[in-house]
Amino acid sequence: MRLKVQGVSFCYRSEDVVDDVSFDADEGQIVGILGPNGSGKTTLLKCLNRVLAPRLGTVFIDSIDNRDRTRKEIARQIGVVPQSANSSFPFTALDMVMMGRNPELDRFEKEKENDIQIVSKAMEMTNTAFLANRSMDQLSGGERQRVIIARALAQRPNIMLLDEPTLHLDVNHQIEILELITRLARDEKMLVIIVTHDLSLAARYCDNIILLRNGRIVSAGDVTQALTRENMAKVFSIDATIYYDERIGTHNVAIIGAIKDG
Ligand code: ADP
User: Is residue 88 very low, low, confident or very high in pLDDT (cuts 50, 70, 90)?
Assistant: confident
Contact 221, 177 (CB under 8 A): no
Q: Per-residue pLDDT averaged across 166-181, rounded?
A: 92
Looking at residue 64, its pLDDT comes to 97
Strand order from edge to edge, sheet including 16-26: 16-26, 2-11, 56-61, 64-65
The C-alpha atoms of residue 211 and residue 194 are separated, in whole angstroms, by 12
Q: Per-residue pLDDT averaged across 141-155, rounded?
A: 94
- Amino acid identity of 129? A
Q: Residue 250 forms beta bridges with which residues?
A: 245
What distance in angstroms lies between residue 46's CA and the mean position of ligand 1's atoms? 11
Which burial class, exposed, middle or buried, applies to 188 when counting CB atoms under 10 A from its CB (0-12, 13-18, 19+)? middle
The C-alpha atoms of residue 149 and residue 194 are separated, in whole angstroms, by 12
Contact 148, 126 (CB under 8 A): no
Q: Per-residue pLDDT averaged across 113-131, rounded?
A: 96
Looking at residue 89, its pLDDT comes to 78
The C-alpha atoms of residue 67 and residue 81 are separated, in whole angstroms, by 22
The C-alpha atoms of residue 157 and residue 179 are separated, in whole angstroms, by 19
Contact 27, 1 (CB under 8 A): yes
Any ligand 1 atom below 6 A from CB of 37: yes
The C-alpha atoms of residue 16 and residue 12 are separated, in whole angstroms, by 7
User: Is residue 262 very low, low, confident or very high in pLDDT (cuts 50, 70, 90)?
Assistant: low
Task: Please give the model's pTM, rounded to 2 decimal places.
Answer: 0.95
What distance in angstroms lies between residue 2's CA and the mean position of ligand 1's atoms? 27
The C-alpha atoms of residue 51 and residue 49 are separated, in whole angstroms, by 6
User: Is residue 75 very low, low, confident or very high in pLDDT (cuts 50, 70, 90)?
Assistant: very high
Any ligand 1 atom below 6 A from CB of 35: yes
Any ligand 1 atom below 6 A from CB of 40: yes
Q: Residue 185 forms beta bridges with which residues?
A: none
The C-alpha atoms of residue 182 and residue 48 are separated, in whole angstroms, by 21
Q: Per-residue pLDDT averaged across 113-117, rounded?
A: 94
User: Is residue 18 very low, low, confident or very high in pLDDT (cuts 50, 70, 90)?
Assistant: very high
Any ligand 1 atom below 6 A from CB of 157: no
Half-sphere exposure of 36 (CA within 13 A, CB side): 11
Write the residue with the smallest CA distance to atom 16 of ligand 1. 38
Packing angle of the helix pair 113-125, 171-186 (nearest 10 deg): 120
Write the residue with the smallest CA distance to atom 23 of ligand 1. 12
DSSP type of residue 92: B
Looking at residue 248, its pLDDT comes to 92
pLDDT at 39 over 90: yes
Q: Which atom of ligand 1 is nearest to the CA of 44?
A: 6
DSSP type of residue 40: S
Using alpha carbons only, give the angle 156, 159, 161 rounded to the nearest 5 degrees. 110
The C-alpha atoms of residue 236 and residue 251 are separated, in whole angstroms, by 18
Write the residue with the smallest CA distance to atom 7 of ligand 1. 42
Which percentage of the chain shows pLDDT scores above 70?
98
Provide the 3-class DSSP secondary structure of residue 223.
helix
Mean pLDDT of the residues in the chain: 94
User: Is residue 197 very low, low, confident or very high in pLDDT (cuts 50, 70, 90)?
Assistant: confident
Q: Per-residue pLDDT averaged across 150-158, rounded?
A: 96
What distance in angstroms lies between residue 194's CA and the mean position of ligand 1's atoms? 17
Looking at residue 260, its pLDDT comes to 84
What distance in angstroms lies between residue 89's CA and the mean position of ligand 1's atoms? 25
User: Is residue 86 very low, low, confident or very high in pLDDT (cuts 50, 70, 90)?
Assistant: low
Domains of the chain listed by start with CATH number: 2-258 (3.40.50.300)
Looking at residue 121, its pLDDT comes to 96
- To test the pocket of ligand 1, the residue of 8, 9, 12, 194 to mutate (highest count of ligand atoms within 8 Å of its CB) is 12
Q: Per-residue pLDDT averaged across 102-118, rounded?
A: 88
Longest dimension (CA), the chain: 62
- To test the pocket of ligand 1, the residue of 10, 11, 15, 17 to mutate (highest count of ligand atoms within 8 Å of its CB) is 17
Question: 93-97, 169-173, 202-206: lowest mean pLDDT where?
Answer: 169-173
pLDDT at 225 over 90: yes
Looking at residue 84, its pLDDT comes to 76
Any ligand 1 atom below 6 A from CB of 108: no
